[in-house]
Structure 1
Amino acid sequence: MAEEAAIVTATSDSSLLLGRAGCPVWLNPERFLISDFNADACVADLRRYVPLATLQNELSNYLATLKTKLVEVINEDYADYVGLSGRLANVEGSVVRMRKPLLELRDKLHAVQEAVRSELNSLNQGLRKRKEVATQRAQLELILEVSHVAAKVDKLLEELAASDKTTSTATAAPTSGVAAAMDINGSGSGPSDAELLAQCRLLERVAAEVSRLAFLANKGKDLAFVRSLEPRITAHRAALRGRLSTALALALTPAPAADGNSASPSPGPRSTTAALHALHAAADLGEAATAEAVVRSVVVAPLVERQVGEHKMQGHTSVPVGGAGSGSTSGNALSALLSGILVAIRAQLGPLLDASLAPGSALRSIDLLSNAVLDEVQGALAAAMPGVFSPGVPPAFHANYLATLAWLRQLEGMCATRGSVERLRASAAYASLMRRWNTSVYFSLLYQEIAGELEDALSSDKLEPAAGTSGSGAGLFATLAPPQLAPTAALLRCLRRAVSSDVVLPLLTDRFLRLALQLAQRYATWVSAATTARREAAAAAAAGAVAGGGTAPVAGAVTPPTAQGAGSGGAGSPGSGGGAGPSGSAAWAPTLPADELFAVVSDTLVAREALLGPVTAAFLELLPPTSTPSHPAANDTDAALNGDGGAVAESAVDAATTAVRGALAEAAAAVQASGHGLAAVVTEEVVERCAAAVRQLKGITATYRVTSKAPPTRASHYVFGVLMPLRQLLDAEPVKRLNPALRQELVTLPVAESVCARYAALAEELLVSVRKTESSLKRLKKAKGGPGGEEEPAAGLSDSDKITLQLHLDVEELVVQLRQLMMPPDTAPEALLPSLRRLKEVVAPAPRDAAISGAAGGGGGLL
């Protein structure tokens, strides 16, 4: 719109300067007035219509015209311009009269500006002085407050020292809290509970004042007076730290039992209230590490040492003997030990832990759960029971690992906020405990066991049947058909171990999934190797037969079940060289009967169903119900703490589920494809045997040309043997175990399709040859002046028509036999076999031939 408006304006302006009559059609002066006019673009556009010389001339003429118009426009108002000075009289006087009031106004404004500036300067100076005074006053108040707080701290410390002198403690100011705790249970007489409570309250008050003093000192660290107090503050903190450790140790030390037996301490600390005051004092003073160390040394360490000692006295060893039951026993023992430790700790430190873990607690800076409890427990286990963390016995390692995770979940259950859980998981003690579990070595040992078992089963040069007590169909795979072969039974056993909850650790779920996929792929490779060996052996036999001028034998012909067992197929030894035949894991493939090879095909279907069904379901159960946390010790606390992350967690779980299903489905498809490939090799062998019978149709030509027989009325004898190899294969026991629909898909339809295709090719070749020969004979007779190849009245048909009719009857009999083999019975084979429809088209007789054949009473079966 803006461009159109500019063009309109330019048009109106140009019409005033120059009309379009003076310019050529291709030159539009209006485009010169457009705001974004580009001379280069204009010249490049116009040179497409006229030469540059013509364009230059026209532009020069237009320029001259514009100059002329400009002169005319100037001359139109020249008289007014010349008379302008005459009409402007007394201009200078008017200027003087207008300037005088303006100058007066400027002088007044300058005076006002100077007055305002002077007032502003005085105000700023006053504000600066006031600010300096305020700063000095604040510093003076800070110094007074620091001095007052320091004097108050000195007074409180004097009161604390005076209270120490009045007590009957053995030492006035001990520096070791552990020594004081041991002394209170010894011969020395410590302070009473009331004195201890008063002392801890006083310590909390002093700690608050020292913390306040440290805050004020940090605030006034640039003042000389405050800097002079730093050594004094440091001394106060050191003195208070020692007294605090002593008081906290005395408060946490269990009081003697009521019966006077020191061997049975009371279930709780001496004074929980005094201990809480001491912890608050430590938090105010910033001595969280000191308080955690005292709690750990006074309460947790003796408790854990006593529990571990009792555990060892009960006969539990740190290194269990291998065995299926040893892992469960070791896990139960460790679980009982950890549970006992946690129960004892809650009895001793329950109120203190609850106070430190409460939301918004003043003790949130003290992490007793991580730095006192967890750190001591993991250190004690590593020192007293190192075998707990050893992966040398995988069942025991698995049970101990799960027991530890369950104990960690109990610790996380004591946390009241998500921040507490995250702090526990991020602690150094948590990380140290989890580093002690060498899960990589655990997985490597199991990988060698599981993969080694399958590899041993697949590396045999003989194909052994599955043992009745193999156990592969129990438990996880109870709903599947039992495997027929030992390698498949080994695969199912390995898969069951790879997905068992007694083997898989939460942290290693992805590795065990990869192991299951590798097992399935190794099995598929084994079947594919057998397929390749079978095909290469057949090709070598065919090549040798052709070179020797004989008939190529068909490898692995179908034999009766008693001729050769499934375990007697090994024809070569592993590692045999020379290229004479396959060796190793595929040595059994070339010599095994074709029907028994379908036991392998049947087992691939069992393996596929196992991967898609029980294995997939087992891995989905192993996935966490929510998003995976930072460590596998995740618990139900996450569900309550996820908040807005619930949707993200669900999407992550859905993505993981989809990935697991997809990976296992690909592995199952690979196993199924390998089985179908082996079935295809077997069907190719059956097709070759069927094709050998089909080639007998070449004898039909000699039959009718030599004997001049009557038109045929029934099928040839060779037709009844065409599908005999297929019938024998379908009657074999391994093939009968297949699902009827699958049996038709893998065996019946491929063989029938290939046989019909070869039948159609041979029949078409035969009929083309016969018709060419008959046409040549007719032309030869006609050239000799004969009757022109007329047939005898009794026959009514030529030899080619009889041969065509005979082939038609043979194909009809073949269709009858195929209909008997189809599932469901009496299914029209033409609908499923395109080559059969082609075969019927090739051998279809003319209507006249069919009528003559029906009228003829003689003839019989051929061949």
Structure 2
Amino acid sequence: MSDSVASLPSPRSAADVFWDDSRPPLWFNPSPFLSPVFDSESFISDLLRTFVPFDTLRSELRSHVTSLNSELLDRINRDYADFVDLSTKLVDIDATATRMRAPLLELRDEINTFRGSVEAARVARASGLNERYDAAVAREVLESSLEAFRVVSKVEKLIQEQQDGASTRETQSMVLERIASELSRIKFYMDHAQNLPFIENLEKRTQSASVLFDASLRHCFVVGLNKRDSIVIYNCLRAYAASDNIKNAEEIFRATIVAPFMRKVIAHEAYDGTSGDELENDYRQIKLFIAKDCEMLLEISSNDKSGLHVFNFLANSILKEVLSAIQKVKPGVFSPGRPTEFLKNYKASLDFLAHLEGGFSHNTIYFFCEGYYPSRSAVTKFRAEAICIEFMKQWNVGVYFSLRFQEIAGGLDSSLVFIQDSDSDKQSSPTLMLRQSVTLLESLRSCWKEDVLVFSAADKFLRLALQLLSRYCNWVSSAVNARKSNASLTPGCEWVVSATAEDFVYVIHDVNCIVSEVRGDYLGHISHYLSSCPSEVLDVVRKSILQGVESLQNVLPLVKKTIIEVIVDKSVEELSQLKGIAATCMMSNKPLPIRHSPYVVGLLRPLKAFLEGDKARHYLTHETREELLLGTLTEMTRRYYELAAGRLSDARKTETYLQKTRKNAQKRAGAAASGVADHNESGTEKMCMQLFLDLQEYGRNICALGLNPADIEPYCSLWKCVAPPDRQNKISV
């Protein structure tokens, strides 16, 4: 809402929204109309939003306009005499205006005349300045032409003296440096005097002089390199820099000094795939060559005070020739098809690059120190050189990782078929029992071996390690879930069909060993290997590894539950004898039972055999055995309770039905036989007593295993179901 509307007083009634004949409308505020930014649409929209609909407002405004017009006419009619008097008082106005117009017209003519004079002077001055500028330009061109002619003549004279060969090498190199400076001056002068016939004729002489100069400078530079004359080399390099011919100097050094040596080191022999294609020994000799035959030139060109930092002989001469020689003679070293040889040559190449930079390397991270390059910016410039980038492109680390991935991950996949422990497995890993676990740990370690890992692809190898953990975890969980759900088995999970509880003991043991190894030495090895990385990176790596281990550890409860199910399934077979108890107890001539049933002794036999077996005692911790004992007894007793309670319920229903039938028969036969068997115990009572005796014996067997039956909830439920009324509140076996 605008200030004009917000400042209005609230209307007292609906009629106050507009107006009446005795006072102006409350919504009308004249101050916004005086504002230079008054917006009628905004003003009306505020009124519409605050007070009334548009149609009503429009009607009232029209009425107000009519009222204003009427009031205006009334005021004009009322003061008409004053308007008439005003016009009569204005006497001889036209004559006064005519007298004032004459001097104004005269002044305008004078101003126009003065303006024309000023404009003519301005045009004349501009024309003079243009002529002066053209004369200055022409003079500059003439002077440049004359100076170019003089310099060309001077250069030709110097070159002629140079070809006479009477001076020493140092003198020749100094003269060549001077000629280079003069040629640069000629180029500058010719750029300022283009398209002139004189200059075009002079250009031919300049080109001829440049050719002779290039030949003389090349000869002098080669002689200086061969003679190792630092002064001559320095002067020649300055001449090349002055003539802006840097690439020629780098190419001459490559072809004259570097290329012959490379032909000796990297022999021109056909690639035959033998170990002779390794580069480590070649790089060692090249490093010695650089230190012996190239150090003087490199020191001269890398010295800050020399002004020769524009040259990059390490990249454009040495590295370029090294790459060219390898590509011609040993192209197979760049092929990742032989991963071991590829990685060895790749790391040797990285160390060689680090040597060229004057630093030392650690897993492809270069640390600058004093050497051929005087500053970090120089090292950065070296890495940005086209030949350096081209050299690194030859090493296809992505394909190398793909091959290693297939090798490592494929080895684990092929082993994920359950096979019993063997002597060979125990020899290869004294702590792990399953071949799959041994392969997993070996695969995890392979990801961070010196002869496998590429530091630049460390993130990919980290992801591979996490994928290996996940693959092993899925192998265990998928098999266990498939066994539980009776679903179709995926490849590699067939072992779960015939697996025993002891087989799952191996799984628990190996998972615990793997978790302990990865959290301990394995993670410590990775942290040490990545110690040069920022702490934030190390934290992410540690968290990802620990998260992968946690996922593997979360499989253990599922495996323990499977062991419990396997043992319980064996024990439940003995409970099938409960069917015969009901039939026996329902016999009328059968006395009350006084002994437990024979099947009770065999209920806990599988559990006892499992806990006392060598595998459980050697490969399970005490806490795990206690957990399995309690879990098995709880599940076993739950099934015992469900089966016994069901049988007892069925017996009671049957007995109730028989009693009704018997009573109906007695009513038909008369009351004489009604007292027969009134004092005999019912079949349900016999069955409860038999189950009670069995439950007591079952409880004594539980106590023999070291647990209190009262601590098992299903046992308490079964006790209340079969115990006599006077013994239900206290469990005693």
2:131 is aligned, of 129, 132, 135, to 129
Distance 1:853 1:298 in 2: 107
Q: Offset at 1:236? A: 1.3
Which residue matches 1:546?
none
- 1:276 is the counterpart of 2:158: no
Q: Answer yes or no: is 1:850 the counterpart of 2:726.
A: yes
Amino acid at match of 1:732: G
Aligned ranges 1:456-855 → 2 under 5 Å: 456-458=414-416, 462-465=419-422, 467=424, 470-472=427-429, 482-528=431-477, 530-531=479-480, 534-535=483-484, 585-623=492-530, 625-626=532-533, 650=534, 654-655=536-537, 657=538, 660-661=541-542, 664-665=545-546, 667-668=548-549, 671-672=552-553, 677-693=558-574, 721-736=602-617, 737-743=619-625, 747-748=628-629, 750-762=631-643, 765=646, 836-837=712-713, 840=716, 844=720, 849-850=725-726
Higher relative contact order (CA closer than 8 Å, sequence separation 6+): 1
Query: What is the CA distance between 1:410 and its match in structure 2?
Result: 0.6
Shift of 1:698: 7.1
Contact 2:645 2:721 in 1 (8 A): no
Amino acid at match of 1:498: C
* 2:243 is the counterpart of 1:285: yes
Shift of 1:595: 1.8
In structure 2, the partner of 1:340 is 285
- In the aligned structure 2, how far is the partner of 1:283 from the partner of 1:209? 13
Residues 279 and 697 (structure 1), Cα distance of their counterparts in 2 relative to 1, 3 Å cut? same
Q: In the superposition, relative to structure 1, how do residues 245 and 751 fare at CA in structure 2: closer, same or farther (>3 Å)?
A: same
Q: Does 2:183 align with 1:226?
A: no
Deviation at 1:212, TM superposition (A): 2.0
CA shift in 2, pair 1:829/1:608, >3 Å: farther
TM-score between both structures, scaled by the size of structure 2: 0.77
Counterpart in the other structure of 1:351: 296
Q: Is the 8 A contact 1:801 1:849 kept in 2?
A: no
Cα distance change, pair 418–829 in 1 and its aligned pair in 2 (3 A): farther
Matched, 1:412 2:350: no
Q: 1:55 to 1:592 in 2, by over 3 A?
A: closer
- Of 179, 195, 199, the residue aligned with 2:172 is 199
The alignment-based identity, stated in percent, is 29
Corresponding letter in the other structure for 1:113: R
Equivalent residue runs for 1:24-173 within 5 Å: 30=28, 35=40, 36-38=42-44, 42=48, 68-96=70-98, 98-99=100-101, 102-103=104-105, 105-162=107-164, 164=165, 166=166
After superposition, the Cα gap between the structure-2 partners of 1:777 and 1:346, relative to the gap in structure 1 and judged at 3 Å, is same
Counterpart of 2:190 in structure 1 is 217
Aligned to 1:83, the other structure's residue is in SS state helix
Contact 1:805 1:849 survives alignment (8 Å) = no
Question: Residues 696 and 99 of structure 1: is their aligned pair in 2 closer, same or farther, counting only changes over 3 Å?
Answer: farther
Superposed CA offset, 1:608-642 (max 9, x none): 4445544444445554835xxxxxxxxxxxxxxxx
CA distance in 1, matches of 2:253, 2:589: 118
**Equivalent pair of 1:819/1:826 in contact (CA under 8 Å):** yes
C-alpha distance in structure 1 between counterparts of 2:634 and 2:234, whole Å? 89
Q: Which runs of 5+ in 1 are unaligned?
A: 168-194, 255-268, 474-481, 541-578, 627-649, 831-835, 855-859
With over 3 angstroms needed to count, the CA separation of the structure-2 counterparts of 1:799 and 1:71, relative to structure 1, is farther
Q: Is the 8 A contact 1:819 1:829 kept in 2?
A: no
> Offset of 1:591 from its aligned partner?
2.7
Q: 1:29 to 1:606 in 2, by over 3 A?
A: same
Q: Which consecutive residues of structure 2, in runs of 5 or more, have no partner in the other structure? A: 34-38, 359-371
The superposition leaves residues 697-732 of structure 1 with CA deviations (integer Å, 9 ceiling, x where unpaired) of 677777887689999999987666544433333333
Kept after mapping to 2: 8 A contact 1:527/1:675: no
CA distance in 2 between counterparts of 1:827 and 1:283 reads 96
**CA offsets per residue over residues 775-816 of structure 1, 9 Å max, x none?**
889999999999xx9xx9999x99989988997897788778
Whether the 8 Å contact between 2:17 and 2:51 is mirrored in structure 1 is no
State the distance in 2 between where 1:498 and 1:852 align. Answer: 63
Q: CA deviation at 1:135?
A: 1.9
Task: Give the secondary-structure state (helix, strand or coil) at the position aligned to 1:503.
Answer: coil
**Counterparts of residues 321-336 of structure 1 (less than 5 Å):** 334-336=279-281
Deviates more, 1:400-409 or 1:673-682: 673-682
- The partner residue of 1:373 within 310, 318, 330 is 318
Give the counterpart letter for 1:279 in structure 2. Answer: L
Opposite residue 325 of structure 2, the aligned amino acid is A
Q: Distance in 1 between matches of 2:728 and 2:137?
A: 134
Residue 208 (structure 2) aligns with: 235
Instruction: Measure, in 1, the Cα distance between the counterparts of 2:17 and 2:436.
Output: 103
Distance 1:494 1:140 in 2: 81
Assess if the C-alpha contact under 8 Å between 2:586 and 2:682 holds in 1: no
Task: Determine the structure 2 residue equivalent to 1:401.
Answer: 346
Find the counterpart in structure 2 of residue 422 from structure 1: 380
TM-superposed deviation, 1:762: 4.4
Task: Give the CA deviation at 1:350.
Answer: 1.5
Q: Distance in 2 between matches of 1:230 and 1:41?
A: 84
Contact 2:152–2:186 (8 Å) recurs in 1: yes
Hey, what's the Cα distance between the residues in 1 that align with 2:253 and 2:207? 24
The residue type paired with residue 428 of structure 2 is: G
Q: Which has the higher helix share?
A: 2
Task: Describe the shift of the 1:114–1:63 C-alpha distance in structure 2 as closer, same or farther (beyond 3 A).
Answer: closer
Contact 2:425–2:435 (8 Å) recurs in 1 = no
Call closer, same or farther: CA 1:158–1:337 in 2, change over 3 Å: same
**Alignment match, 1:8:** 8
Q: CA deviation at 1:299?
A: 2.1
- Look up the SS of the partner of 1:366 in the other structure: coil
With over 3 angstroms needed to count, the CA separation of the structure-2 counterparts of 1:336 and 1:849, relative to structure 1, is: same
Q: How many residues align?
A: 700
| Alpha-carbon separation, structure 1, partners of 2:514 and 2:504 | 16
Q: Which moved more, 1:708-717 or 1:754-763?
A: 708-717
- For 1:304-323, list aligned pairs within 5 A: 304-307=262-265, 320=274
What is aligned with 1:251? 224
CA distance in 2, matches of 1:381, 1:161: 40
Indicate how the Cα distance of structure 1 residues 845 and 396 shifts in structure 2: closer, same or farther if over 3 A, else same: closer
Counterpart of 2:345, as a letter, is N
Is the Cα contact below 8 Å between 2:254 and 2:318 reproduced in 1? yes
Cα RMSD, aligned residues only? 5.2
Amino acid at match of 2:190: A
| SS of corresponding position for 2:224 | helix
Quick one: distance in 1 between partners of 2:572 and 2:433? 31
How far did 1:240 drift? 0.6
Distance 1:837 1:471, change over 3 A: closer
Quick check: 2:571–2:606 contact (8 Å CA) kept in 1? yes
The residue type paired with residue 148 of structure 1 is: R
> 1:232 Cα shift?
1.5
Contact 2:720–2:728 (CA<8 Å) still a contact in 1? no
CA distance in 1, matches of 2:339, 2:548: 27
Supply the distance in 2 between the matched residues of 1:717 and 1:112 (Cα, whole angstroms). 141
Q: Alpha-carbon deviation of 1:462?
A: 4.2
